Structure 1
Amino acid sequence: MKIRILLYALIGVWLFASCFDDEGNYNYVEDRGVWGDLNVISTYIGEEIEIAPEMHYGDLKDTMDVSFVWFVKDTVISTDRTLHFKGEKSETVNCYLYVTDNGTGIASATYFQIKVLSPFATGWSILYQRNGKSEIGHISMLEKEVEGNVVEIEYRVYEDLYKQQNGGMELGSQPVKLIEHYSLAETPSEVLVIQKGGQGNVELDGNSFQRVLNIYQEFIGEQLPTGFSPTDYVYLSYLHFIRNSDGNLYSRLVTNPRDGFHVAQFNNTPVYVAGGLRVEQVFPSAYYTTDMVILYDGLNKRLLPFGTQVATNTGNIGELIFTGTYPDGYTRLDNFGDMEVIHGASCNDFYSVYGNECDYSMILKEPQSGKYYYQTFHVLYKKPTFTVTIPEKDACVEFPGENLLTEKTLFWLLKQRAYLFFTAGTNNDKLYYYDTKKKSVHLYKDFDGVEIVAMHPNKGFTQLGVGLKNGTFTLFDITDATFISGQPNVIYSKDGFGEIVDVIYRYGVRKEYWM
């Protein structure tokens, strides 16, 4: 957008209004059509770019007889023909370019915007340790248009981001886990760092990795519970809770989640349930969709659903109501007896006209025989009731990978797909997948003695990011075509991340989580 301005007219109007002895010597100045064209320009935080307008010189013969003035946020920052700009934070910047035809004094004003984007909003975030210290890395996947309107992916690697983004401050030590979470305000996400040393657990701005606060500030009186050593955080709409390593839960009520982050404090005393509670596992799920999670209570050998009921209480730890008959060989959800819960996760999360719904699967071990079983069930959460249904076919089948699993085995079930990835091997160096339809196990990739410590799929579950203990991150194609080929397909790989502890895919916004 351009606006023609006669610069000397600003003075002339004032003179005309205040002087009555004007001799009337006015000369018409013809606009020769000189102006610069700019639209919306995108860049990334910390990236310096050069902005050059597309010039239109009209009837002007000497194209050098032109002056430039660049306004950024109402401040003149350059009078060069091009603008050098470097964004420091994620924002949209309003700008003007004034181009003056020096021969006539006529200037044109072109309004444009610079959108400063965060390269950290999505992509792969990596928690690792180097020289005994926690560090954060990130791999951004930026779309770049090349010749022929072809879009290519540029992988940008960032290391030791916390120190860079926080004035040289050290993050801490003994890193454990990364958790991205969101608010109903639809602001950029935050990233929680769980670590045992240094400043402890830290909340970071998802767009900049700058520190927001330390977790002790989230508790009443800024006092952490005795023996505080968290392993999981879950952020339901109106209820957040922390699972501690001793099985206790600490919760907080968020009465208005649209107010954003950190609008309530955690209780210092654990959640109470009649009969006691020791949460040994939280089954991963797209809980922003279902508004519930499943807990495994190891004290009472049962599954418990935990969901937000309404905004006026501290949540709803209920019971799974099943009124049918359990199939032969199926382990009761309210009494696991001697069966060991090895893994549990949701495989399909959705809303329906009936309520919040979720399909779950588990891997169970029978200690006496050493056999493993793959068991499934469905939960309908029609607040405040959790109703269970069990599939009529193959609700519980023997898991064929029983001789592969170890104490270090990691799992990731691909949502809405028929594959469960898991690690195995003496050094946890082999990546397998279980085809839940064919009920068969296949080796996907052998890392030849290098331990697998983390894995996480991308949005859409077409790629799998794998972190190795030796500091190598590898991104694999996991589309159906790759499974059919029988050969692993490496999309991208980067080493040098010290000793990797955790890898997550960053969704950026709440509505994309676990999609």
Structure 2
Amino acid sequence: MKRVWIYAVVAALAGFVSGCLDDDNNYDYKQINDMEGARDNFQNFKDSYSVVEGEELTFAPAFTFTIDTVAPDVSYEWYMDHKLLPDETKPTYTFKSDKCGTYEITIAVVDNKTGVRFAKSTYVQVRSLFQRGWTILSDENGRSVLHFIVPATHTYQMVHEGKVVNRDSLVYHQVMHDIVPELGEEPVGLMENLGYMDYDRLCNVTLFDELVVQQKQWAELNGNTLQREVYTYQEFRDDLPEGFSPVEACMTFSMKAVRDANGRIYWANKADVSDFHSSFYTSVGLNDNMSFSHLFEAYRLNGSRSCVLALTEEDNSFVGILDLGTNGTYTESTVIPEVSMSESGKMCPIEGEYANNFSNIEKEVVDVLPANWVAESFGFFDVTSAEPAWVALLKDKDSEQYELRFFILAVNTAKTVKCSDYCEYSIGAISDYRGMAVFNNRCYVVIADGNQLYYCQYGNDGTNRGELIKLDVTLPAKVKALSGLDLQGEGSSIAPHRGQLGVALEDGSFYIFGIGELKNADGMGTVDCKQLFPDENTPEKDKNFGKIVDMIYKIGRGEDYMSFAF
């Protein structure tokens, strides 16, 4: 009986289905007017943009329907931060803001025949005029003078794999001279304090960095306005060490440290990640007033446990100093709980299988620069996974031969510092070392020897070779300072952007070069150097900056250190 009942049900269903068809078996289904491209249904509409205050940005996204491909019957809606802009009903929209911050812009295309909406959002980061760019410090008869070269995005079209695509690049048409009146006297150098990166956009942080001017009285400048906020000595409050004379510093979103001429390192734990001055130093040096010969810069680009790097004076050993304070992730609070930084400032020897390379170093440590690294397994340029790393240049005191080292330091759960990756290369003699610039994503450095520039790869990926390659560029004077912008942005997969190298010379001139690489299977290949600034349109007044003391590329925010937002 049961089997007969099942057969009856199946027969009834078959009759029902056949009744849905007409006598001609005409399947008259209505096709949906969809957009081509799935998630990337809008062309000429990137995931993010970056502009300066007051700069106009016109959006003109393009799309194609699967049915109405020529003249679709559609309406347009534009939203800013999820709020409808009722007057914006055209296919283009011009954005402009005089206030720093991050804005979400959404376009919705409505198919008037079906009422179906197709939408996509982008984020526009509005930065101040001085947030990022080439920063030059000069000495004008003992007076500190600051100059600034502003990068601007230029979009052009190129052919890639037979298709015309849009391509972003940087141009330099705005040069500003002597921008901070009464900055100070007796200039020595520049340093950037990369502050807190509000990746989740929960804390509404708009000031991402500070610029430290090293001079007779060190000045800490607001990263957006370049106006002085404090002199460094003022952060000791009423506890200034006698004869205080800072020579080096390292600052992150969670700590500040300065090394005095007496070799002591003074430390301050910050109380708030968004406030560069939520801390003060004490007059007692780290590790019971221990003497250090160097304190190196460090970039803390995320909330992971980190450390800074110093060199002891007594035995010429690298040591890590814990930098642990954090406000946590996915939180709107910018306060750093005391419990998270209870061991910050603790000095640790560097452990692991490479430990012997860091203690009792017989060679002279010439230069050490940050080179934060992201492992391929995390996805290249993912700044939230960046690990603290450095490139070091050492010299044999007897033979004058140089050695290049790259290493990554990790702070484990036991609050000790371990070297997790290490490589070194003998790179030969350098007769007149003048400076080094690091390109951390591409894993190479550029080294200046007098008025000559040399390219050198590093890293353990199996393709890099630590050999000096002379760049084909003739400089009219000796190099005074180098700095690099490892330009990686949206569209880099189409054709790699050139890394940009800033070169300041002793005759007051300044150049920007694009470094192009073409690697072979063994990693060497060829490298070329293309001058980007000054160009044929640069006025004479913008080609010389007097007696240059130092120069850096001011990154502005940690995100642009790993992946540049055009």
Q: Give the TM interval when normalised to the shorter protein.
A: 0.5 to 0.7
AA matched with 2:317: R
CA distance change for structure 1 residues 209 and 396 in 2, over 3 Å: closer, same or farther? closer
Q: How does 1:7-406 map to 2 (within 5 A)?
A: 90=100, 118-143=128-153, 153-163=170-180, 169-184=181-196, 186-197=205-216, 200-221=217-238, 224-258=240-274, 260-273=275-288, 276-282=290-296, 284-289=297-302, 291-309=306-324, 310-322=340-352, 324=353, 332-336=357-361, 338-350=362-374, 357-383=387-413, 384-389=415-420, 395-400=423-428, 402=429, 404-406=430-432
Following TM superposition, by how much is the alpha carbon of 1:115 offset from its aligned partner in structure 2, in angstroms?
10
Secondary structure of residue in 2 paired with 1:480: strand
CA contact (8 A) 2:142 2:187 kept: no
Query: Which runs of no fewer than 5 residues in structure 1 stay unpaired?
Result: 1-41, 50-85, 94-113, 164-168
CA contact (8 A) 1:456 1:464 kept: yes
Normalized against structure 2, the TM-score is what? 0.60
Superposition pairs for residues 415-454 of structure 1, below 5 Å?
A: 415-424=440-449, 428-436=450-458, 437-448=464-475, 450-454=477-481
Q: In structure 2, what residue type is equivalent to 1:137? A: H
1:230 shift after superposition: 2.2
Distance 1:263 1:420 in 2: 35
Deviation at 1:358, TM superposition (A): 4.2
Deviation at 1:262, TM superposition (A): 0.9
Of the structure 1 ranges 471-480 and 147-156, higher mean CA displacement relative to structure 2 is found in 147-156
Query: What does residue range 408-419 of structure 1 map to in structure 2 within 5 Å?
Result: 408-419=433-444
1:267 match: secondary structure = coil
Name structure 2 gaps, 5 residues minimum: 1-49, 57-95, 104-123, 158-163, 197-202, 325-339, 379-384, 459-463, 489-498, 535-541
Using the TM superposition, give the Cα deviation of residue 241 of structure 1 relative to its aligned residue in structure 2, in angstroms.
0.7
Q: 1:347 to 1:119 in 2, by over 3 A?
A: closer
Relative to structure 1, is the Cα distance of residues 214 and 89 closer, same or farther in structure 2, using a 3 angstrom cutoff?
Answer: farther
Measure, in 2, the Cα distance between the counterparts of 1:256 and 1:189.
13
Helix, strand or coil at the partner of 2:559: helix
C-alpha distance in 1 between matches for 2:453 and 2:363: 25
- 1:477: Cα distance to partner? 0.8
Quickly say closer, same or farther: Cα 1:246–1:452, change in 2 above 3 A: farther
Q: What's the secondary structure of 2:395's corresponding residue?
A: strand
Residues 70-123 of structure 1 show CA distances to partners (whole Å, capped at 9, x for unaligned) of xxxxxxxxxxxxxxxx99875899xxxxxxxxxxxxxxxxxxxx9985221122
1:317-340 alpha-carbon deviations (Å, 9 max, x no partner): 111123x488xxxx642222x322
Amino acid at match of 2:348: G
What SS is found at the alignment partner of 1:464?
A: strand
Relative distance call for 1:239 and 1:145 in structure 2 (3 A) is: closer
Mark the CA change 1:116 to 1:301 in structure 2 (over 3 Å): closer, same or farther.
closer
Task: Pick the structure with greater CA Rg.
Answer: 1
Alpha-carbon spacing, 1:440–1:226, altered in 2? closer, same or farther (3 Å): same
For residue 341 of structure 1, report the CA deviation from its aligned partner: 1.9
Please report how far the alpha carbon of residue 146 of structure 1 lies from its aligned counterpart in structure 2 after TM superposition: 8.3
Question: Cα deviation per residue 1:185-224 (whole Å; 9 max; x = unaligned)?
Answer: 6332343343434xx2222222222222222321122x54
Matched AA of 1:423: A
Q: Is the 8 Å Cα contact of residues 270 and 279 (structure 2) preserved in structure 1?
A: yes
Task: Check 1:288–1:361 CA distance in 2 against 1; reply closer, same or farther (3 A cut).
Answer: same
* More strand per residue: 1
CA–CA distance in structure 2, aligned partners of residues 115 and 378 of structure 1: 31
Measure the CA separation in 1 of the matches of 2:552 and 2:242: 29
Aligned equivalents of 2:141 and 2:99: distance in 1? 30
Instruction: Please name the residue that 2:14 is paired with.
Output: none
Alignment partners' CA distance in 1, 2:434 and 2:299: 22
Tell me the distance in 1 between the aligned counterparts of 2:183 and 2:236. Answer: 21
User: How large is the Cα RMSD of the aligned pairs?
Assistant: 3.8
Match of 2:487 among 431, 435, 460: 460
Q: Distance in 1 between matches of 2:154 and 2:174?
A: 16
Q: Please give the secondary structure, in 2, of the residue aligned with 1:294.
A: strand
Mapped to 1, the partners of 2:466 and 2:195 lie a distance apart of 39
% same residue: 23
Q: TM-score, normalised by structure 1?
A: 0.65
- How far apart are the structure 1 equivalents of 2:135 and 2:143? 17
1:303, distance to aligned residue in structure 2 (A): 1.0
Deviations 1:254-303 (A, max 9, x none): 13324x221111222322348x3323252x44333463222111322211
CA distance in 2, matches of 1:202, 1:151: 35
Q: Does 1:511 align with 2:553?
A: no
Alpha-carbon separation, structure 2, partners of 1:467 and 1:257: 33
Which residue of structure 2 aligns with residue 31 of structure 1?
none
Q: Hey, what's the Cα distance between the residues in 2 that align with 1:358 and 1:194? A: 24
Any conservation in 1 of the 2:372–2:386 contact (CA below 8 Å)?
no
Q: 1:46 Cα shift?
A: 8.3
- Paired residues of 2:401 and 2:426 also in contact (CA < 8 A): yes
Amino acid at match of 1:433: Y
Mapped to 1, the partners of 2:234 and 2:533 lie a distance apart of: 39
| Contact 1:120/1:207 (8 A) holds in 2 | yes
